[in-house]
Structures are given as C-alpha cells and as structure tokens.
C-alpha cells in the first residue's frame, strides 16, 4: 500500500490531508460516506473584525448587536431584517485551517424568526457557498423556507434541507451560509448558539434562538 507521503506527491500543500488531525464528527452517514458537523451562527462584536461567523461551539451571543438592529431590541442575539433600511441579507462565514471536502449529500438548517407587524410573504433563502480568499462565491446548494404571515406576535421555527454539491476546501477558503429575505416587511432572525432566550411559537411550543447548519463532509478512505 502506498505511504501517506507517496500518495500526496504532486498535490499542492493547501489541498493535502492532515494525517495528524482527528475530526470528531457529530454523526456519520455511512450510506453517503459523510461525516456531519454542526455549526452555529453568531455575531461577533469586536472593534476590528466584527460580523457574522460560524462556530462549532455553543457560545453565548453578545449583548451588543449589529450596527442596524432596528427597533425590535433583539441586540446581539438576533438581527432585524429591515426592508426599508435595505437589510435583507446576512452571511455567516467559517475559514478553513485544514483541507476538507464537502460531500454530495444533504445539509440541515434550523432557525427561529419573529414576524413583526403585518409581515407578509415571509420566506428566507438559505444558500451554502464556497468562498475563495479573493471573495469569489460558488453556490453549493440552496433552499427556501415556507412563506408565513405574521401579526406582530408570531414566532416561527424554520427547518430546511439543502442538497449539497461536492467541493474541496483548501486552507484559507471559507464556507458561507447566506440568508436572504424575500419578504415584503420586517422581521427578526435569531442567532444565539446557547439559546439563552426562548419563545413560544404559533403552535404553543417553546423554541430556542439558536441558528445552526449541519454540514456533511466526505470521509477519507
């Protein structure tokens, strides 16, 4: 059997496998040869580099929020999609420090949104992107949530499945979860990994405020 070194001759360093790294997947889909990792969306509030990120850790969302939170008061644990202010898209990113391959399989996304007064045709488009260090995006799958209409007191938990396309990620590449609003009015989207606040949804269930995506990565043979 060829050695690890011989197998990788001629392969650029940034694409080579790191044999010393053991990845503990949250669960394994043996049928599709994929290991799943759970990533939470969170907003970081530091002076330099603030923005939306993906993390595997169950962290507390910050108290302070984005520059344009709107009037809903969700602060660091959520963002108001404000149509009038042009806030209709947010991107959660993770930069790879080791090479990995997104598998051809299914990704799973869940999030909680708060429909504000007269929120109409409220749908969200969830898209997974491969992003190069230069910022070039390649879509690896997308899904749109079911439309809902609110009266200012409705909380809705989204669940969507995204069929993914196999893609190799080199060191320095990013994976992105883009969320775009297609609604006519404003609403809140929450992103607190620890779900320190909970709400009662329109069917009487207590739902959390975490936003997460389960991503499938190709298992090495």
Report if pTM > 0.95.
Answer: no
What's the CA gap between 133 and 93, in Å, rounded? 12
**What is the predicted pLDDT for the residue at 14?**
53
pLDDT digits (tens, 9 = 90+) for 181-212: 877 677 889 999 999 999 999 899 999 999 99
The CA dihedral of 31, 35, 41, 44, to the nearest 10 degrees, is -170
What's the CA gap between 114 and 50, in Å, rounded? 24
All structural domains of the chain with their residue ranges: 35-218
Token pair belonging to 106 = 């299914």
**What is the predicted pLDDT for the residue at 66?**
56
**What is the predicted pLDDT for the residue at 1?**
39
Please count the helices (runs of H) and the strands (runs of E) in the chain: 1, 16
Residue 69, pLDDT above cutoff 60 = no
Beta bridge partner(s), residue 93: 53, 176
pLDDT digits (tens, 9 = 90+) for 141-166: 999 998 877 666 789 999 999 999 99
- Confidence category of residue 172, pLDDT binned at 50, 70, 90: very high
**Average pLDDT of span 113-117:** 80
- Confidence category of residue 71, pLDDT binned at 50, 70, 90: very low
Select from 140, 132, 54 the least CA-distant residue to 105: 140
Q: Classify 35-218 by CATH class.
A: mainly beta
Please say whether the beta carbons of 79 and 186 come within 8 A: no
For the chain, state the CA radius of gyration: 19
**Average pLDDT of span 19-32:** 84
């Amino acid at each position: 059997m060829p050695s690890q070194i011989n197998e990788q001759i001629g392969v650029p360093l940034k694409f080579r496998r790191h044999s010393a790294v053991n990845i503990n997947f949250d669960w394994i889909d043996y049928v599709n040869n994929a290991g799943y990792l759970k990533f939470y969306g969170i907003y970081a509030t530091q002076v330099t580099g603030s923005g939306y990120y993906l993390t595997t850790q169950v962290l507390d969302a910050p108290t302070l929020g984005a520059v344009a939170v709107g009037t809903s008061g969700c602060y660091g644990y959520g963002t108001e999609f404000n149509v009038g202010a042009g806030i209709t898209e947010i991107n959660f990113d993770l930069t790879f420090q080791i090479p990995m391959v997104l598998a051809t399989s299914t990704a799973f996304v869940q999030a909680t949104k708060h429909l504000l007064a007269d929120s109409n045709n409220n749908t969200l488009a969830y898209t997974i992107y491969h992003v190069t260090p230069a910022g070039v995006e390649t879509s690896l799958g997308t899904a749109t949530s079911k439309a809902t209409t609110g009266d200012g007191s409705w909380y809705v938990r989204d669940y969507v499945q995204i069929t993914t396309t196999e893609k190799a990620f080199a060191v320095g590449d990013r994976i992105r979860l883009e969320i775009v609003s297609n609604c006519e009015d404003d609403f809140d989207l929450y992103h607190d990994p620890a779900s320190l606040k909970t709400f009662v949804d329109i069917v009487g269930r207590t739902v959390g405020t975490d936003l997460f995506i389960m991503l499938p990565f190709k298992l090495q043979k």
